[in-house]
């Protein structure tokens, strides 16, 4: 069996290296697309991916009634049970990039999987549905706890009240250094813009290795 490849503690270091040996080669980065149940994670990965995205959707069943609230997303029939995977090349970015996108399942009960998917990632996007802001509390706390740079992206659902980014920042008690942006998860250029915001943020964030979430977070989830 091949030995596992060790994970660099600071994946964003590739962005800060002044002269890379193969300057034409894109910098490959892993990015996590997170957020609460039904926030639009699978939609965002699918919108922007240049390959047919890998998805692990399963039908919602009666067993999830009363567990996974469909308020605001009543038309939703499926949910991600493992992860989404997509790829996006951005050759014209200030540094040519190849982004590997990993969408998480939304429910808090998958928090162990969120941790596994975060290994080796340069950062995370936390998608927010402002109609159900409470579903984003655990994902935000999770990335704060493990020390992974993240941006908050407000996914504008039709008919939802449009809050200002600073109102969202206040409601989530986010520090000024965490970017808060808006997007439509169905729009490829919106999602690409969010990803570039994250890459810029991760490049400037202090290099802190991802560490296991404290037990308190896991128990609370
Ligand atoms: N109007 C609108 N609908 C959206 C948007 N993003 C997602 N949707 C819809 O909202 C529903 C949920 O989207 P998903 O992409 O499955 O959400 P998710 O976050 O992956 O959901 P889970 O994996 O179950 O947590 C789907 O019916 C989407 O079509 C958006 O920006 N605007
Ligand atoms: Mg999903």
- Residue 143 inside a domain? The answer is yes
Please give the pLDDT value at position 185: 98
Q: Ligand 1 pocket, 92 CB below 6 A?
A: no
- Residue 183 inside a domain? The answer is yes
Closest CA to 101 of 150, 34, 39, 147: 34
Report CA(134)–ligand 1 centroid distance (Å): 16
**What domain range is 112 assigned to?**
23-220
Kindly state the percentage of the chain with pLDDT values over 70: 85
For 40, the token pair is: 């639009």
48-68 burial code (b ≥16 CB/10 A, e <16): bbeeebebeeeebeeeeeeeb
pLDDT digits (tens, 9 = 90+) for 189-220: 999 999 999 999 999 887 665 655 544 343 34
Neighbours of 19 (CB within 10 A): 5
Provide the pLDDT confidence category of residue 71 given band limits of 50, 70 and 90.
Answer: confident
Please give the pLDDT value at position 1: 43
- Residue 39 inside a domain? The answer is yes
- Residue 11 inside a domain? The answer is no
pLDDT digits (tens, 9 = 90+) for 131-188: 999 999 999 999 999 999 999 999 999 989 999 999 999 999 999 999 999 999 999 9
- Non-local (6+) Cβ contacts of 73 within 8 A are 38, 129
Ranges 56-70, 71-85, 109-123: which has the least confidence: 56-70
Q: Ligand 1 pocket, 139 CB below 6 A?
A: no
- Non-local (6+) Cβ contacts of 207 within 8 A are 9, 10, 12, 13
Contact 151, 178 (CB under 8 A): yes
Please give the pLDDT value at position 220: 40
- Residue 115 inside a domain? The answer is yes
Nearest CA to ligand 1 atom 26: 76
Name the 3-class secondary structure at 66: coil
Report CA(41)–ligand 2 centroid distance (Å): 5
The average pLDDT across 87-105 equals 96
Residue 72 has pLDDT above 70, yes or no: yes
Report CA(77)–ligand 2 centroid distance (Å): 11
- Residue 17 inside a domain? The answer is no
- 184: domain CATH number is 3.40.50.300
- Pocket perturbation via mutation, ligand 1, pick of 42, 108, 190 by most ligand atoms within 8 A of CB: 42
- Residue 18 inside a domain? The answer is no
Q: Ligand 1 pocket, 60 CB below 6 A?
A: no
Report CA(134)–ligand 2 centroid distance (Å): 17
Q: Provide the number of structural domains found in the chain.
A: 1
What gap in Å lies between CA 79 and CA 81, rounded to an integer? 6
Please give the pLDDT value at position 14: 76
- Residue 64 inside a domain? The answer is yes
Contact 44, 103 (CB under 8 A): yes
Contact 207, 12 (CB under 8 A): yes
CA torsion sign for 86, 145, 150, 75 is positive
What gap in Å lies between CA 77 and CA 69, rounded to an integer? 12
């Amino acid at each position: 069996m091949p030995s596992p490849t060790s994970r660099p503690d600071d994946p964003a270091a590739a962005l800060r290296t002044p002269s890379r040996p193969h300057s034409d080669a894109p910098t490959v980065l892993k990015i996590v697309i997170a957020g609460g149940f039904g926030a639009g994670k699978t939609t965002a990965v699918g919108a922007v991916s240049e390959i047919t995205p890998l998805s692990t959707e399963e039908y919602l069943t009666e067993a999830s009634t009363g567990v996974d609230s469909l308020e605001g997303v009543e038309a939703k029939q499926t949910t991600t049970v493992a992860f989404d995977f997509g790829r996006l090349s951005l050759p014209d970015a200030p540094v040519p990039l190849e982004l590997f996108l990993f969408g998480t399942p939304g429910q808090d009960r998958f928090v162990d999987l969120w941790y596994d998917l975060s290994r080796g990632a340069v950062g995370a996007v936390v998608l927010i549905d402002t109609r159900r802001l409470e579903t984003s509390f655990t994902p935000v706390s999770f990335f704060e706890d493990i020390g992974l740079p993240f941006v908050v992206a407000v996914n504008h659902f039709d008919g939802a009240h449009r809050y200002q980014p600073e109102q969202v920042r206040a409601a989530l008690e986010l520090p000024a250094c965490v970017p808060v942006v808006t997007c439509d998860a169905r729009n490829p250029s919106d999602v690409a813009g969010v990803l570039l915001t994250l890459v810029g943020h991760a490049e400037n964030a202090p290099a802190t290795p991802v560490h296991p979430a404290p037990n308190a977070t896991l128990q609370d989830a």
